Structure 1
Amino acid sequence: MFYWLLKFVLLGPFLRFYNRPEVEGVEHIPADGPCIMAGNHLSIADWIFAPLSSPRRINYLAKAEYFTTPGVKGRLKKMFFSGTGQYPIDRSGADAAEDALNAARALLDQGKLVGLYPEGTRSPDGRLYKGKTGLARLALETGVPVIPVAVIGTDKISPQGGFRWRRHRVTVKFGAPIDFSRYEGMSGNRFVERAVTDEVMYELMRLSGQEYVDVYAASLKKGVPSGSRPNPAADAARIPDTAVG
């Protein structure tokens, strides 16, 4: 109930007036049934504008710290994140990636839309980074379609480095569902999972207009040098990858 209250009464009207989001491709979202919503990740504002633009609730996986802060502030934070469709995931343990996938499977089994950020973290510089293959594993094991969701302009609204909220126009683009049934039974094949992931990243690159970088964003933040590649899908068949999550 709080989700819809925020969307239509408390937060949504203000954001529609203040940031004037433009929305494309809403017709690609199925009226019912499970689907993975795979988004680019520029800002903490991404998970606000994508659900605001969707006729159906999008459920995201969020780190458990958002739900466990003590005190009144912690209770308010828990109420906010729970009410906006977030589901807590402990990312500190060795099985964090598997726990996240299990939570996402459970939501999909209930016929829900599950939002994932295949980059795994926010882009440090506005470019689109290499996707992790947990999304592919989830899509192949469940057989549900993947809808790419590109959000443009949120890094101008709420840039990294402290909470700020600026007046800037946002564009949300929902791409056509991608059906990976041609890979049925091939979950666990790292080359197939990389091909699936890169196909999704290519669509996000096309929708968002971002430059693609064939390096994990988290690795770049740790000082690994990057090199850009304009078409990740073209190299999908020959890129080995063992990352899951």
Structure 2
Amino acid sequence: MALYDLARGTTRGLIAVACRPTITGLENVPKEGPFIVAPNHLSFLDSVLIQTIMPRKVAFFAKAEYFTTKGIKGRFMKSFFTGVGSIPVERGEQAASVAALKSLLDILGSGNGVGIYPEGTRSRDGLLYRGRTGVGWLALTTGAPVIPVGLKGTEKLQPAGSNAIKPQHFSMVVGKPIYFDKTGPDHSLPARRAATDAIMDAIAALSGQPRAEGYNQSKSL
């Protein structure tokens, strides 16, 4: 916990000074028990921002190479991503797939928070894409409340294709919890689809993004 507190506290201070973000709705995060954070996805930095700002720890997937890179840079990345609560996942394994999602069940079962991007990967054109049903599967299987999040302006912090981070104002709106009846893993695909669509509607209302009709086809995490 000490490493987590240090990583989060340091990063939060840097974000507050450099970006002066507008944050609303943190009171909607349950004070105890499991919860699922479901944000839109505009930037590589979105996970770090959410993990830093949320009042409780949120576990997100991160590329495995962030934990296995050699040298000083590798040790720093491993310490940082471990510190903020990231979970390594192999490149090419979709974070929204049932196989990967099963690794989150233990975290929720322990009463903690996890984060998942229903779109699967970041939007490079500003549109909000159709949600993949992994988030619906996770919500129905566990009964954990889903916390929709709307991010605005985070794509300006690190434009697609750039390694440079540019301090910019952004906003994060945390919506009210969405509750689904716990059905276990044997629910139907239509039920999973309906739950996912309800979550995406809530994200759209918070982010204000125009909707895309289809899925985001990028394979990156």
TM (norm. structure 2) is: 0.91
Cα distance change, pair 65–207 in 1 and its aligned pair in 2 (3 A): same
Q: Match for residue 7 of structure 1? A: 8
* 1:89–1:99 contact (8 Å) kept in structure 2: no
- 1:147 equivalent to 2:172? Answer no
Structure with greater contact order relative to length (CA < 8 Å, sep ≥ 6): 2
Q: Match for residue 37 of structure 1? A: 37
* 1:22–1:171 contact (8 Å) kept in structure 2: yes
Q: Within 5 A, what are the aligned runs for 1:231-242?
A: none
* SS of corresponding position for 1:129: coil
Deviation at 1:72, TM superposition (A): 3.1
Deviation at 1:46, TM superposition (A): 1.0
Cα distance change, pair 93–144 in 1 and its aligned pair in 2 (3 A): closer
Deviations 1:44-93 (A, max 9, x none): 12112222321111111222222122333222221111111101123446
Larger radius of gyration: 1
Matched residues in 2 for 1:95 and 1:17: separation? 32
- 1:125 equivalent to 2:130? Answer no
* SS of corresponding position for 1:218: coil
Deviations 1:141-176 (A, max 9, x none): 111110101111101111111222223211111111
* 1:57–1:113 contact (8 Å) kept in structure 2: yes
User: Alignment length, in residue pairs?
Assistant: 219
Deviations 1:220-245 (A, max 9, x none): 99xxxxxxxxxxxxxxxxxxxxxxxx
Matched residues in 2 for 1:94 and 1:44: separation? 16
Query: Which stretches in structure 1 are left out of the alignment for 5+ residues?
Result: 222-245
Q: Match for residue 195 of structure 1? A: 194
Cα distance change, pair 74–28 in 1 and its aligned pair in 2 (3 A): same
Matched residues in 2 for 1:96 and 1:148: separation? 16
* SS of corresponding position for 1:23: strand
Matched residues in 1 for 2:70 and 2:83: separation? 18
- 1:24 equivalent to 2:24? Answer yes
* SS of corresponding position for 1:82: helix
* 1:130–1:201 contact (8 Å) kept in structure 2: yes
Matched residues in 2 for 1:201 and 1:93: separation? 22
* SS of corresponding position for 2:20: coil
Matched residues in 2 for 1:169 and 1:100: separation? 33
Cα distance change, pair 174–19 in 1 and its aligned pair in 2 (3 A): same
Cα distance change, pair 163–99 in 1 and its aligned pair in 2 (3 A): same
Matched residues in 1 for 2:93 and 2:197: separation? 27
Q: Match for residue 243 of structure 1? A: none
* 1:43–1:155 contact (8 Å) kept in structure 2: yes
Cα distance change, pair 121–25 in 1 and its aligned pair in 2 (3 A): same
* SS of corresponding position for 1:159: coil
TM (norm. structure 1) is: 0.82
* 1:151–1:208 contact (8 Å) kept in structure 2: yes
Matched residues in 2 for 1:28 and 1:96: separation? 24
Deviations 1:112-166 (A, max 9, x none): 1101111111102111111110111111111111010111110111111122222
Alignment root-mean-square deviation, CA: 2.3
Matched residues in 2 for 1:67 and 1:12: separation? 22
- 1:215 equivalent to 2:221? Answer no
**Stretch of structure 1 that moved more, 61-70 or 34-43:** 61-70
Query: Which stretches in structure 2 are left out of the alignment for 5+ residues?
Result: none
Percent identity at matched positions? 41
